[in-house]
């Protein structure tokens, strides 16, 4: 599901170098290039997504994020972005370390499994949540690590990662009104701006 | 021949011999006062002369990249990818394919006459580098009145030329497409080339490279060289699928004495013989050395990022999963260096069991990536010329 995260434009510097891990069809990089004249590269493994990036003129590199990112030198990018993919990584904490090694700053978005709808689904139905945002059955989901807003906050504290900014996305009522008050319960998606 | 090689074909083509009547100073210091190039073109050069694509051939390639000659069914070597509606779309691009100097399909090379001695060059043809091919191609470009290539494209040694173009003449190409290539050969690669050269030189008909003067040719040696090369261009998996342990003749039945020949033996011998009757042994030695000598970053303190920082064009890099002669890792190194240099680059690693030869063979994903990339290039050219016309 594509959510509007155009507010991150103000988090990214004009003319900067941006690496998008799991760039999909290149929509985000194309927008950032148009608006901020960034020098952007996306990593992707899905052939159809790669085709679409190439057709758009977005720099796309076929590379599996679960393998090493060692080919990218330390601090070789200003910002490393990962949208809605951390939960699908084999070792999310190591990927996070790599992102902060490669980039001075990171932007990460992830679905909040602590959202009340997911909680209610599990509690009342006794089944793993299948929602609009997490539209997979448990056996075929690419999302192999379920974590909440609070879990991520704890991980950042443990690893001494600085949270520069964060913003919550919620589309429905009452989530929209309550997301900032109690993000772990009402935010559907969390968007973080991090640095070392 | 592929069953649909006539489909979307550029049709009947013919080659032209073009005299480049300007001196060409080779990397080894020798000056060729003039030289001849065999050239084929497909499609039409637009009014801006901006839609030219240069095809760079590899070790054994020729100018005959697409279409058919009159009375000959065999299509050009890159016919799968050049033609109307194909990735190198002749409805949109003007495609220039030449036989490079030192090769043996009619361009100046070891089988030509050395004007200074009046004799065949033979083994005395000057040593060549990939950059010499690029400089000769640059003279051809001037001859054709083209100021900037829309793209320079090549696989293997052809990719090396496409990279060298980007460094030597950064303002003369908009895109460099580097397929199944490498910034330099590995020791293993050089080793295979040396075995091939030794096979040729061991043939009693080689006569130190002066076999033309002896009215003979080291066909056995050249066939052996090609057989070795051919094995390295295929994957173990594909050879297994195509030939397995099938027998062409003989039987393992008890009491039988008929000689046994595996299908793969027959196939390789056929390929070797076919090649040695159409290729020149001195050219093979010359061009394999050219491959060995290539090192993109040698003059840039062995720093590939520094080398690519001279480039101005956009890049597409493509590799094939089962290619062990020019492995995906070599292409990833090219890509990483280009990212380091801040150049626009896309990289696709195409799943294929065809080994190094995959860059010549039909493959849907490869067609899509190349097609999408070039179709965007063509769209931009169209926008530019329409914008200029308004």
Task: Note whether residue A50 is domain-resident.
Answer: yes
Of A54, A59, A63, which is closest to B372 when you measure between CB atoms? A54
Q: What is the pLDDT of residue B390?
A: 62
Name chain A contacts of B332, Cβ cutoff 8 Å.
63, 71
Q: What is the pLDDT of residues B315-329, one digit of tens each?
A: 999 999 999 999 999
CA B261 vs CA A16, A60, A66, B246, B251: distances in Å = 63, 48, 46, 9, 9
- In CATH, what number does B185-293 get? 1.10.1740.110
Contact in structure between B130 and B150 (CB atoms under 8 Å) = no
Contact in structure between A152 and A169 (CB atoms under 8 Å) = no
pLDDT higher than 90, residue A18:
yes
Query: Rounded to an integer, what distance in angstroms lies between the CA atom of residue B137 and that of residue B38?
Result: 11
Question: Would you tell me which CATH number, out of the four given (3.30.460.80, 3.40.50.1820, 3.40.800.10, 3.10.20.30), belongs to the domain B1-184+299-390?
Answer: 3.40.50.1820
The residue in chain B having the minimum alpha-carbon distance to the alpha carbon of residue A59 is B346
CATH number of domain containing A55: 3.40.50.150
Task: State the pLDDT confidence band at A172, using cuts at 50, 70 and 90.
Answer: confident
Of A50, A71, A73, which is closest to B332 when you measure between CB atoms? A71
Q: What is the pLDDT of residues B132-183, one digit of tens each?
A: 999 999 999 999 999 999 999 999 999 999 999 999 999 999 999 999 999 9
Q: Which domain holds residue A85?
A: 6-112+144-171+187-195
C-alpha dihedral, B353 to B354 to B360 to B362, nearest 10°? -50
Query: Rounded to an integer, what distance in angstroms lies between the CA atom of residue B89 and that of residue B11?
Result: 13
Task: State the pLDDT confidence band at B1, using cuts at 50, 70 and 90.
Answer: very low
pLDDT higher than 50, residue B3:
no
User: Where along chain B do the CATH 1.10.1740.110 domains lie?
Assistant: 185-293
Query: Rounded to an integer, what distance in angstroms lies between the CA atom of residue B151 and that of residue A112?
Result: 46
Bridge partners, B317 (sequence order): B178, B347
| Dihedral pair phi/psi, residue B357, rounded to 5° | -65, -10
Name chain A contacts of B375, Cβ cutoff 8 Å.
55
Query: Rounded to an integer, what distance in angstroms lies between the CA atom of residue B86 and that of residue B96?
Result: 16
Looking at residues B277-289, what average pLDDT do you find? 98
The reply to whether B249 touches chain A by the CB within 8 Å rule is no
What is the number of structural domains in chain A?
1
The alpha carbon of residue B355 and the mean position of all alpha carbons in its chain are separated, in whole angstroms, by 15
Of A41, A53, A58, which is closest to B339 when you measure between CB atoms? A41
Task: Note whether residue A128 is domain-resident.
Answer: no
Task: Note whether residue A181 is domain-resident.
Answer: no
Cβ contact, residue pair B348, A71, below 8 Å: no
Mean pLDDT of chain B: 95
Cβ contact, residue pair A55, B345, below 8 Å: no
pLDDT higher than 50, residue A137:
yes
Task: Note whether residue A53 is domain-resident.
Answer: yes
Q: What is the pLDDT of residue B154?
A: 98
The residue in chain B having the minimum alpha-carbon distance to the alpha carbon of residue A49 is B369
Instruction: Enter the tokens of residue B99.
Output: 């036989």
Cβ contact, residue pair A55, B375, below 8 Å: yes
Q: What is the ipTM of this complex?
A: 0.93
User: Where along chain B do the CATH 3.40.50.1820 domains lie?
Assistant: 1-184+299-390
C-alpha dihedral, B367 to B368 to B370 to B375, nearest 10°? 120
Task: Note whether residue A182 is domain-resident.
Answer: no
Cβ contact, residue pair A51, B369, below 8 Å: yes
Hey, which residues of B are catalytic here? 156, 323, 356
Task: Note whether residue A178 is domain-resident.
Answer: no
Helices B281-293 and B157-168 pack at an angle, to 10 degrees, of: 50
């Amino acid at each position: 599901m594509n959510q509007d995260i155009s507010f991150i434009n103000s988090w990214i510097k004009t003319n900067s170098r941006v690496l998008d891990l799991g760039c999909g069809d290149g929509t985000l990089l194309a927008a950032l290039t148009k608006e901020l004249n960034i020098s952007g590269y996306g990593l992707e493994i899905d052939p159809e997504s790669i085709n679409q990036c190439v057709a758009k003129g977005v720099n796309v590199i076929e590379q599996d994020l679960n393998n090493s990112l060692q080919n990218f030198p330390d601090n070789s990018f200003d910002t490393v972005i990962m949208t809605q993919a951390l939960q699908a990584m084999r070792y999310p904490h190591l990927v996070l370390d790599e992102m902060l090694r490669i980039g001075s700053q990171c932007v990460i978005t992830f679905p909040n499994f602590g959202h009340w709808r997911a909680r209610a689904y599990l509690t009342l139905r006794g089944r793993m949540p299948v929602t609009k945002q997490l539209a997979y059955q448990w056996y075929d989901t690419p999302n192999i690590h379920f974590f909440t807003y609070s879990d991520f906050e704890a991980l950042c504290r443990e690893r001494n990662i600085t949270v520069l900014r964060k913003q919550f996305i919620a589309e429905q009522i009452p989530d929209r009104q309550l997301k900032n008050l109690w993000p772990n319960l009402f935010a559907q998606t969390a968007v973080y701006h991090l640095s070392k | 021949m592929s069953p649909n090689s006539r489909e979307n074909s550029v049709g009947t083509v013919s080659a032209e011999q073009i005299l480049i009547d300007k001196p060409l100073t080779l990397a080894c210091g020798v000056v060729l006062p003039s030289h001849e190039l065999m050239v084929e073109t497909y499609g039409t050069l637009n009014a801006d002369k901006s839609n030219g694509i240069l095809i760079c051939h590899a070790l054994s390639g020729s100018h005959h990249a697409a279409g058919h000659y009159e009375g000959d069914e065999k299509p050009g070597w890159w016919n799968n990818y050049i033609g109307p509606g194909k990735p190198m779309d002749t409805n949109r691009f003007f495609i220039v394919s030449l036989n490079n100097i030192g090769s043996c399909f009619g361009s100046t090379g070891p089988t030509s006459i050395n004007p200074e001695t009046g004799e065949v060059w033979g083994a005395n043809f000057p040593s060549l580098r990939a950059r010499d091919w690029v400089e000769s191609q640059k003279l051809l470009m001037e001859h054709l009145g083209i100021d900037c290539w829309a793209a320079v494209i090549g696989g293997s040694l052809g990719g090396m030329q496409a990279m060298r173009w980007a460094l030597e003449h950064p303002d003369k190409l908009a895109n460099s497409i580097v397929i199944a290539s490498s910034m330099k050969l590995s020791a293993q690669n050089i080793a295979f080339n040396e075995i091939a050269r030794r096979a040729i030189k061991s043939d009693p008909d080689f006569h130190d490279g002066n076999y033309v003067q002896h009215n003979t040719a080291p066909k056995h040696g050249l066939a052996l060289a090609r057989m070795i090369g051919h094995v390295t261009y295929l994957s173990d998996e594909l050879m297994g699928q195509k030939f397995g342990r099938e027998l062409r003749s003989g039987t393992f039945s008890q009491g039988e004495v008929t000689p046994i020949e595996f299908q793969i033996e027959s196939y390789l011998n056929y390929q070797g013989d076919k090649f040695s009757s159409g290729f020149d042994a001195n050219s093979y030695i010359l061009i394999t050395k050219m491959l060995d000598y290539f090192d993109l970053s040698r003059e840039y303190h062995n720093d590939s990022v520094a080398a690519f920082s001279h480039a101005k064009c956009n890049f597409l890099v493509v590799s094939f999963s089962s290619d062990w002669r020019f492995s995906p890792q070599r292409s990833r190194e090219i890509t990483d260096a280009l990212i380091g240099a801040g150049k626009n680059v896309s990289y696709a690693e195409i799943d294929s069991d065809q080994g190094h030869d995959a860059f010549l063979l039909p493959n849907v994903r490869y067609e899509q990536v190349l097609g999408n990339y070039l179709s965007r290039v063509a769209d931009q050219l169209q926008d530019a010329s329409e914008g200029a016309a308004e």
